[in-house]
Structure 1
């Protein structure tokens, strides 16, 4: 029996330093793919090598590649300079246009954006749409920084839902990490309600794990020294895109409200709001309390998770951010605004949920964690994250896919 083929569609190059939970989830699905499956990825190429010369960069051509020790086939549709920053023409639109008129039909197809599936309407095979955020909220909320649009569709919500209505019927499965989105799809499309299911986002336990107390303190002091800070400095970490829906400006203002010279915020990420974040840091005279690290490799991010005293999210809207799971798996408590699924999974001894999206409320929550770390022990954080380990979650998805594959083959023989 030949191997079933899974093709994953998303607009990124997995060998670049890229920011986002979707990218991380896809890497987990590749890394933990059983050997019984052939895995393909349709992505993008690095802009500096659009026609070859660097590994896995031959635009428009399938090429054998390796990611996280797993052999895959990779096809970049077009060169993309930086997928961490939104462009004038949305990358999703360019990616969709590049798919039109082509056929990448396979036994299983995973999509992580709705728009590209316009090209797949006539493709044969099992199609799964992964939903990563609260669709209804992200199309209607506008209280992000300076009322900037989180996505272009916020200006045309009726058009988005019309497109959605056209496309959702093709999916054999809609898997959502956000309960609100799951309910939205069931209510709006009762004829496919049975195809909608919840899925846990997942972290890679081989990369994100805790240190013991002594190791943590030694590593924390080393990071402080490397940044020219007092060895007693306590760290808060933010990791993610500097985009309106993450509202990093609110976080900067929360550090100003915290007003603790012994606390330092590390911001790992990049995005369109980076200039505004720098300006806000300068205006509030916080350059000695906040360090912008830019986009960093996953392994370095994991090291920071292990030495920080708290991880913080100031988001307007979320699904279930993988970075929060990665923090908990590293033994670090989470402070979050009340959005997405993170508040639902946090326990009283693994984090704090802010009831108001204000600098003072976030500062108070951070202060609570920083002053009483004994109330948020490593063991509690790790225990909260454990059900979301990729080795369990991803394997369960593949097991279900394999069962359906065998059933289809059995039916064909009979």
Structure 2
């Protein structure tokens, strides 16, 4: 019997360093794919001379895959005038890329796939209701200007999916309520953390790596690092975190590391300068996954200042490294964050975030590395993704047996 084929559709290049949880999830689905499956990826290229819309053999994390770039995309971290989602959807139109299983991470892409046969799964990565209702920059999510149009499009497309899965329980409820005829197809899925990359360091090694970064940045020896990692985008609201650091005038030893890139980069730098925080904040730009793991391993606290979320991978990555988390009250994070591994801010304000950071950094004994690692355990990539593939294989074998 031939192997079933999984084709993953998303607007990125798996071999390019890009910022975003969706990219990491897809890479985990490739890395931990069992041998029983053949895996294909339809993405983008960063090479002008690379052939487009043709399959090519490649390897990612030791796993052989078939890869098809649809068009050239040099920088996935910054939005262009024409939305990348629109470019990707247009490039899919007229193609015939159906396979046994298909994973989609943007609803809009599936305009091109309505007539494709196969087992389709749509992944929902945010709390849709919170995303549409957010009062942040209206340009951050263009659909927020036309919510009725989005939900009309959604109603036309959702019936094609065998599975609709979300890492956010509120989105699961919303889809089940909006589409009762297919409610049994909608379910919760855990996001994943790769514990081969994100793990707790022995104390001596942690201290040595922390001292090395302190020396590299020419900071005082008693410096404690506060970490932000993610796209510099209104959803993540890094400016709110910068303003929170400005409130911590009593904790000069705290130094904010910002790992990421995006459309707010210039505004973040301007706010840092306006508040006189240049000696207390370092913008690192985009970092590769291995470097991000090291930052998590030496940070005293990771902070999420988002306006809305699904279940951000960076939270799981921080916890897996033994680092406590401070988060705004959004997404799924508050439901998994116990009192011994972080703090949920009661308000999304600079003062509330500053108070939570102060609480964690002044009382580290209340937030043990063991408690943090324990909170991340249910989300280990190999286990979660293995279960997904097992369920897919069961459906495949059942279908073959019935034909």
Q: Is the 8 A contact 1:101 1:119 kept in 2?
A: yes
Q: Is the 8 A contact 2:138 2:144 kept in 1?
A: no
The separation in 2 between residues aligned to 1:276 and 1:159, in whole angstroms, is: 31
Q: Does 1:344 align with 2:335?
A: yes
Q: Is the 8 A contact 1:17 1:296 kept in 2?
A: yes
C-alpha deviation, 1:212, in angstroms: 2.0
Q: Does 1:70 align with 2:63?
A: yes
| Equivalent residue for 1:50, pick from 44, 48, 51 | 48
Q: Does 1:14 align with 2:14?
A: yes
Q: Does 1:214 align with 2:204?
A: yes
Counterpart mapping for 1:5-404 below 5 A: 5-46=5-46, 49-52=47-50, 58-142=51-135, 144=136, 147-259=137-249, 260-404=251-395
C-alpha deviation, 1:148, in angstroms: 4.1
Q: Is the 8 A contact 2:14 2:27 kept in 1?
A: yes
- Alpha-carbon deviations, 1:58-107, whole Å to 9, x = none? 32211000001100000010000211111111100110000011111000
Question: What corresponds to 1:55 in structure 2?
Answer: none
C-alpha deviation, 1:140, in angstroms: 1.7
The separation in 2 between residues aligned to 1:139 and 1:50, in whole angstroms, is: 36
The separation in 1 between residues aligned to 2:141 and 2:74, in whole angstroms, is: 20
C-alpha deviation, 1:231, in angstroms: 2.1
The separation in 1 between residues aligned to 2:296 and 2:52, in whole angstroms, is: 35
The separation in 2 between residues aligned to 1:3 and 1:229, in whole angstroms, is: 55
C-alpha deviation, 1:295, in angstroms: 0.7
Q: Is the 8 A contact 2:138 2:145 kept in 1?
A: no
Q: Is the 8 A contact 1:177 1:199 kept in 2?
A: yes
Q: Is the 8 A contact 1:235 1:264 kept in 2?
A: yes
C-alpha deviation, 1:50, in angstroms: 1.8
What is the TM-score normalised by the length of structure 2?
0.99
The separation in 2 between residues aligned to 1:124 and 1:257, in whole angstroms, is: 56
C-alpha deviation, 1:150, in angstroms: 2.6
Question: What corresponds to 1:405 in structure 2?
Answer: 396
Q: How many residues align?
A: 402
The separation in 2 between residues aligned to 1:96 and 1:269, in whole angstroms, is: 26
- Alpha-carbon deviations, 1:219-244, whole Å to 9, x = none? 11111111111122100110000000
- Alpha-carbon deviations, 1:173-216, whole Å to 9, x = none? 00000111101110000000000000000000100000122221
C-alpha deviation, 1:51, in angstroms: 2.4
What is the TM-score normalised by the length of structure 1?
0.96
Gaps of 5+ in 2: none
Partner SS, residue 245 of structure 1: coil
Q: Is the 8 A contact 1:65 1:73 kept in 2?
A: yes
The separation in 2 between residues aligned to 1:378 and 1:213, in whole angstroms, is: 10
The separation in 2 between residues aligned to 1:157 and 1:249, in whole angstroms, is: 26
Partner SS, residue 103 of structure 2: strand
Q: Is the 8 A contact 1:221 1:232 kept in 2?
A: no
